[in-house]
Structures are given as structure tokens and as C-alpha cells.
Structure 1
């Protein structure tokens, strides 16, 4: 397969297949993925002569990770911000930069990635940062293993279990769940009463349940569980009128809202709408 034919999905699948075969033959723990070791041997899989020669932490303030060339004939270095305190965040960052190496290294000699780049899985323009995220998600949490782990109606608890099993952050596991679920569901990250970003499942987006956050300021709904500072953790979920979050939803429609809050990472909320719910407003020809 030529470099130009490598998509994030194909590249991650090829490496996943290799890791599965290795685990079947030699035994041992399949997850979490040892990204550092994989990165240093990745060039052998694709028969490239410009390996990832170094993987290390460094003081790169303002960025979570970086992929940079070491110069002609010296290969590449993957660097993560050594101020990152979460092992799960570090693992996903390394996998994101490995995605740049595998899929994009012919485009540039350096990739500097912020935390927003690494959380932006649903960018409308499908840019290289989104592609690196998709590669990382498919490598660290392959769907054939992920889906059986979440096959019940207790999503936030299962997401937390997946985060532990795959060695990733709760946010990464939750985003993976959103991308895989057939439910009408949204993941909302907030801080200090304002939405930082939101990610919708395909079914939720088609029902009008999404938030545009890029370049916008969105205040949390005052009657939402997310805005209630007295509630730190609610994994079972509470019933909330859907029009609390989506003003054009029918007054009788309820959604299920779950929440995990921390001083370090802010608030992560999971909203699940009924399968029949639709929160689009009345048709307006001017729209």
C-alpha cells in the first residue's frame, strides 16, 4: 500500500491487526497499547527508512504534543508536554502524533498540536488534526473490542471501565462511545458555566441535537445538571426536560443527563435523548 493510500482507518487497522496477531502468538496483555514501542518499530511495518527515533517528554508550553523531523537521515521525534499529569492523556497524545507520522509526514516537517486539536474529533473540514485523532482512537480502542464492552444501557459506567482498560482518559473513551453509539447522544465539556466543546452522535446530529462551539460562547443552561455546582458526580443520570438544553424541543420530551466534574478537568456531561426525539424547530423558509 502506497503512503498516499493510507487513510487513518486503514493505517490503524493494519497496526491493530499486527498487534492482535502478536498477542495471539506470544500471549500477554493486549491493552493498553504500548504506543512508544509501537512508534519506534512502526517504520518496519510499512517498510520506511525514516523511523521515529525518539519519544520523550519536554517543556512545550501551549502544546500537548509534537512530531518533528530530526534532520535528513535522522528520522523523527515524538514529543509530549511533560506537564501532562494524566497517563491516559499522554497515551492518546502519543498516538495522535504517531497518526501524523504514519498518515501526514510527507506533508510537513513539524506538527505542533494543542489540547483543542487532540479533542476535535468532529471537525467539519476533516483536517489533519481530526485525522490524527481518528487514527489514535482506532488504534487505542478498536471497535471490534470496544463495542462488546459497552453493550448495555449504563453508558457512563462502561465508558469509565473502557478508559481504565485502554489506558486512556475518560474524555477519550467517551468520545469513542459517541462515535460508535446508535443512540441519540451528546458529550458536552464545560468549565465555569460555559460549554468548551460538544460532540454529537450521528443519530443526535440528524435529530438537531448539537452545539456549534467553534468561535462562539455558549452558556450552560441554568436548569441543567451540568450547571448545578452541588452535583459533582451523577453516573445513573437524571431526567431533564429536553427544552432545558434545546429550546425548540417539545415540552413533554425528556432526556437523560449524566455528569462527572473535577477541579482539574472541568465538567463532562452525557445527554441521551429518546430514540424518537427530534429537537429541530419548526420549518422556516428563511432558514
Structure 2
């Protein structure tokens, strides 16, 4: 069986190998990366270390080729305190290893590199590493089982984040990737300017995107100033605020560490369900046999 050729397929394969070995969530990326690559490749990941003591500020994760040893090293910022950030960072670097290590010897990734991109090529490889990490850590079938029949809220997404060992933001982005609902995530700074946003496919079709650098809607800024929009609040929002003609359901969480406001905005009366889900069928039986050779149950 040949190696996968896409970040989605790599993520699905390793997630299934992990589960076929009898292991649950969250995925232990350190154990997976070290054991899988040592058995699979001639230039494996030989070590995963904390680089915080070395003063590499602003770099969440790194993947570096060690030419003398003939292997690779993943390092991460051990000072990160947000639950799930380190695990996602390690998965992101593993994605670079599987997908991009033949193109260069050094990958340095921070929040800016993971979310904002300076070039088309940088955008392509960082997005691929993020996609791989999301499919490895948050398999879609399991995710759908956790949220089936429930209203999507930050609390529910937080429960999923705890299950998968991921951050709330990464978990919300994963939901937006596959949901048939019209919804978007908006991250704004303390000065009311939008840092970035991400829309579901259904939201894109009704033109809900908000560009980086835009200000938050006037009605939202007024509610924030008047104390009517606070952390943890969910409320209905009239048409003309987040969308010209669609009513919205708006939720807010505030990240004190980054001085950011994170909005989850859903458009329950504007959803479109006319697109097909991606096929995620894979050779489960073959993966089960392959998983027997990995010592992940120890």
C-alpha cells in the first residue's frame, strides 16, 4: 500500500492506526511520531524536545533536519499554557515531516505562520500541516458523533477540545470545515479590529466573510462598550449586523492571554445543505494489521 499523497489522507491513516492499536483520545503525538517514523522511514524523527530554555521566542514549533544523525528533531515552546496548543503544534510539525521534508531542512512555525501567510507557498504548506493535524487529532466521524443532535456552542466545542487535546480555536475551525450550517469564526483584537475570520462553506455561499483589518460591526462595538456583550454570552442578532439580510446567533469568548475576542456567529435561517461530504472511506482492515507492529499500548 503506497503512502498517502494528501494531508487529509495522511491524517486519516495515522488516526486510524492509532485507534486500531486500541488507543483512545487524545492522540499522544510524541509517542506516535517517534514510533511510527522510526519503523517507517530511514530518516525518522529522532527526538522531540522543549526549546523554551534556548530562548526561541515567538516560535511555537520547529522541525529541523539533523544531518550528522540522519534524522529530524521536533521542538516546541514549553512555556505555552493554553490547553491543546502544544499537542496541535506537534501534530502540525509532524505534518511538515510527512508532507514537506523533501523540500527543505528547517521549518519554524509560530501563530503568525499558522494563521497568517506572507506568500502563496507559505500559505500552502502551513495550511496543509494544519489540515493534517486536524484530521489526526479530530477525526471527523468521531467529532460528528460527539456533537450529534446538539446545538453548537462554545461550551460544546470546549468539551470536544478537551476530548481531542486541542485548543478551542482549532476545534471550532475543524467543525466549520465539515458542518453544513452557515457559520463563521471571527477573531478580533482589543481595539475592535478583525485579525482573521473563517467561514463554513454554507456561510461562504451567503457571503459572510469578514476581511482582516475590518472593524467589528458598529452594533457589536456598542454592545461591547455598554457591557451587553460579555464572555460566555449567546444572543440573537438582528439582520444588518453580521449579514445584510440574515439573522444571526452570536457567541463570544474572550482570551485574556492574547487580548482577543473570539466570536462564533451562526446563521440558522440561511443554511444551505446542497453540497456533498468528502469521502473518507479508507482501508480500515489493512490499517488494523499494520497497527499491530507499533508499541503504542505501553
Superposition TM-score tier, normalisation by shorter sequence:
0.7 to 0.9
Give the Cα separation in 1 of the matches to 2:161 and 2:115: 15
1:186 CA displacement:
0.3
2-side partners of 1:277 and 1:128: how far apart? 31
Cα distance, 1:82 vs structure 2:
2.6
2-structure distance, mates of 1:226, 1:50: 56
- Given that 2:157 and 2:168 are in contact with CA atoms closer than 8 Å, whether structure 1 keeps it comes out as yes
Contact 1:66–1:80 (Cα < 8 Å) also in 2: yes
- 4+ residue runs of structure 1 moved beyond 4 angstroms? 123-126
Alignment of 1:17-28 (within 5 A): 17-23=16-22
SS across alignment from 1:203: helix
Q: Which region of structure 1 is more displaced relative to structure 2, 155-164 or 217-226?
A: 217-226
TM-score using structure 2 length: 0.81
> Is residue 2:252 matched to residue 1:254?
no
Deviation (angstroms), 1:179: 0.8
1:171 aligns with 2:169: yes
Q: Tell whether the 8 Å contact from 1:179 to 1:201 is kept in structure 2 after alignment.
A: yes
Q: Does 1:221 align with 2:217?
A: yes
CA distance in structure 1 between the aligned counterparts of 2:137 and 2:5, rounded to whole angstroms = 18
- Measure, in 1, the Cα distance between the counterparts of 2:176 and 2:222: 18
Contact 2:242 2:248 (8 Å CA) reproduced: no
2:256 corresponds to 1:263: yes
Change (3 A) 1:44 1:6: farther
1:88 matched residue in structure 2: 84
Alignment check: 8 A CA contact 1:91 1:167 kept: yes
Structure 1 residue 245 corresponds to structure 2 residue 242: yes
Higher relative contact order (CA 8 A, sep 6+): 2
Tell me, yes or no, if the aligned pair for 1:184 and 1:202 is still in contact at 8 Å: yes
Q: 1:54 aligns with which of 47, 50, 59?
A: 47
2:140 is matched with which residue: 136, 143, 146? 143
Q: Secondary structure at the match of 1:256?
A: strand
The residue aligned with 1:113 is: 109
**Does structure 2 conserve the Cα–Cα contact (< 8 Å) formed by 1:120 and 1:130?**
no
Change in CA separation of 1:226 and 1:155 when aligned onto 2, cut-off 3 Å = farther
Structure 2 equivalent of residue 26 of structure 1: none
State how far apart, in whole Å, the 1-side matches of 2:239 and 2:80 are: 36
Indicate the SS of the match to 2:217.
coil
Query: In the aligned structure 2, how far is the partner of 1:124 from the partner of 1:180?
Result: 24
Tell me how many residue pairs correspond in the alignment: 262
Shift in Å, 1:74: 2.8
Aligned to 2:287: none
CA offset at residue 62 of structure 1? 2.2
2:159 aligned partner: 161
Structure 1 residues 112 and 227: alpha-carbon distance in aligned structure 2, compared to 1, 3 A threshold: farther
More strand by share: 1
Distance in 1 (CA, whole Å) between partners of 2:236 and 2:93 is: 40
Distance (whole Å) between structure 2 residues aligned to residue 275 and residue 258 of structure 1: 17
Ranges in structure 1 where 5+ consecutive residues have no aligned partner: 24-28, 279-287
In 1, distance between residues paired with 2:221 and 2:151? Answer: 20
* Mapped contact 2:182–2:270 kept (Cα < 8 A): no
Distance (whole Å) between structure 1 residues aligned to residue 177 and residue 64 of structure 2: 29
Q: Could you say what secondary structure the match of 2:127 adopts?
A: helix
